[in-house]
A = this chain, B = another copy of it.
Amino acid sequence: MREALFHRLTIKGGHFGPNFGMVEATIAMHYVFDSPKDKFVFDVSHQTYPHKMLTGRAYGYLDESRFQEISGYSEPSESEHDHFVIGHTSTSISLATGLAKGRDYCGGKENIIAVIGDGSLSGGEALEGLDFAGEMKSNLIIVVNDNEMSIAEVHGGLYKNLDELRATDGKASNNLFKAMGLDYIYEPEGNNIEKLIAVFEKVKDIDHPIVVHVHTQKGKGYTPATIDKENWHWCMPFDRETGKPTVSFEGEDYGALSGDLILKKMKEDKSVVFVTAAVPGSVGFPKENREKAGEQYIDVGIAEEQAVAMCSGIAKNGGKPIFGTNATFIQRTYDQYSQDVCINNSPVTTILNYSSVLGLNDVTHLGIFGISMLSNIPNLVYMAPICKEEYLAMLEWSIDQQEHPVVISMPGNGVHGAKYPVDTNYDDINTYQVCRQGDTVAVLALGDFFQLGEEAAEEIEKTLGKKVTLINPRYASGLDEKTLDELKKNHSVIVTLEDGILDGGFGQKVASYYGGDDIRVLNFGIKKDFYDRYDPAELMKENHLTKELITKDVCAYCS
């Protein structure tokens, strides 16, 4: 099985450590339980490759021509052995309590087994799930796959308890799981199939919830991955001999640019603090930057709610917090932004990576919902820069200002240099930048769709023989009514572009604003849907997001 993992991962990349660590446990689970009648729910589901191999999908690991058929996550459309599409952490226990309750209501008898890694345990949803399970009175088996790691190192007090439990062979008198009302059993040899079979046999068909705490080794079977667990959590295609990636990215990226600027600000001001919820690498804080930041860096572990609310508290007591994460994970924190941050108008800066249709394309990790979710929360200033210089200027301004909660999305279309003047002061919220003045048609191209808007504007100019107005709206959370009113005077078509779903987004606000006017508004963006493993160019085309299609649509209104 590990050979099959090597085959896929060296060529295609994917989650390495979690899968190498779970080979034996997966075999034992399938040996003891009767899937799909008995139901496994894998947390995050980035450790399901061995499970997939044992449930008819080995070709997805053995046959390079079929790699694409198998997703990196749990996927019911692939197999009846998968019960949910899962990609965010800390959901498995709650989902499993639901399967167990459904079973009880419908008179079923099967085993329900949640498998959750220690890194995911700190998430609020998982802890709520444990607490609820502690009161249940029917079969539920919670396998805690303890490999002493999250993506980066684990964080939070509960890990001290896991340490203690491992050190005492599960016998420590103080036990988080028992404190939550749960039965508990410990298996130190989590990579020993026979031991695991014995422990699973023992809990099979149990009539109440129990936690099976198994100690596994992340990355087991490949020395480099057992040494540098963080970097081998997920891997690019690599050379097995050397462990070196076989593809490389040249040039700048917004993560590194962010890290450099934030470290500079930290040096100048000891109250600048960077907060992450277990994904430091993708937002500019790989290990070397964490070491430079020292105490001014906080990883709360997988606990986004804690991260956001804590940032509000830091800001209220004089600090300058910056929270960085991937756009998809911000979804955990709608209420924390609304209640803890925005009602209190706490000057928290948030930087979002992968907030683009051009970013992560697994259905569970889409970056196209951020504007729709965040920009409609009062007081929140959502900024969408168009280039490197503007991104850095906005970030620096946001760290220094004390008036607003600010979210800044990192452009997802590569690092572009400035072609137009870049402001340093953004105090005048919701003011657009008119980059080129024309008439008849105005293109409002938000954030990283600016370059597309610029190309489309040029194409429209060529077609119509008229100079087109090009605008960088900069803010997604409010309208520049003065500029919009100005446009009315000599424009008849307004085009909006945004890198996200149209529903609840930027363009619809513009359309509503002009609703009473004799002016056409054409909104370009992504149709609301859950897309999975899509081809970005193809999806852009389907949504008319090419300079040719935009020009065609626009010119139909300019005859």
Binary contact readout A181-225 vs B (1 if CB under 8 angstroms, 0 otherwise): 110000000000000000000000000000000000000000000
**5 contacts across the A-B interface (CB closer than 8 A):** A91-B340, A102-B319, A124-B124, A135-B155, A176-B179
Q: A369-B338, A376-B501 are in contact. Are A132 and B557 (CB under 8 A)?
A: no
A379 to chain B, nearest CB (A): 7
Knowing A298-B101, A511-B508, say if A134 contacts B158 (CB, 8 Å).
yes
B174 touching A157, Cβ below 8 Å = no
Known: A128-B306, A312-B98, A339-B88. A512 touches B502 (CB 8 A): yes
Contacting pair B179 A179 (CB below 8 A): yes
Distance of A112 from chain B, by nearest CB (Å): 8
CB-CB under 8 A from A108, the residues of chain B are: 317-318
**B97 to A378, Cβ gap below 8 A?**
no
Min CB distance, A127 to chain B, in Å?
Answer: 4
B319 touches A106 (CB 8 A): yes
Measured CA separation A321–B99 after assembly (Å): 11
Knowing A99-B317, A124-B123, A157-B182, the reply to whether A132 touches B306 (Cβ < 8 A) is yes
Residues from 313 to 365 in A contacting B, C-beta threshold 8 Å: 313-319, 321, 331-332, 334-336, 338-340, 342-344, 363-364
The answer to the question of A87 belonging to the interface, with a C-beta cut-off of 8 Å to chain B, is yes
CB pair B132–A157 under 8 Å, yes or no, is yes
Closest B-chain residue to A523, C-beta based? B512
Q: Which residues of B contact A88 (CB under 8 A)?
A: 335, 339
Question: Closest residue to A516 on the B side, CB-wise?
Answer: B520
Q: Are B181 and A175 in contact (CB under 8 A)?
A: no
Within 8 Å CB of A67, what residues of B?
none
A30 interface residue, CB < 8 Å from B? Answer: no
Separation of A296 and B104 alpha carbons in the complex (Å): 10
Q: Choose among B103, B157, B504, B529 the residue that contacts A133 (Cβ–Cβ < 8 A).
A: B157
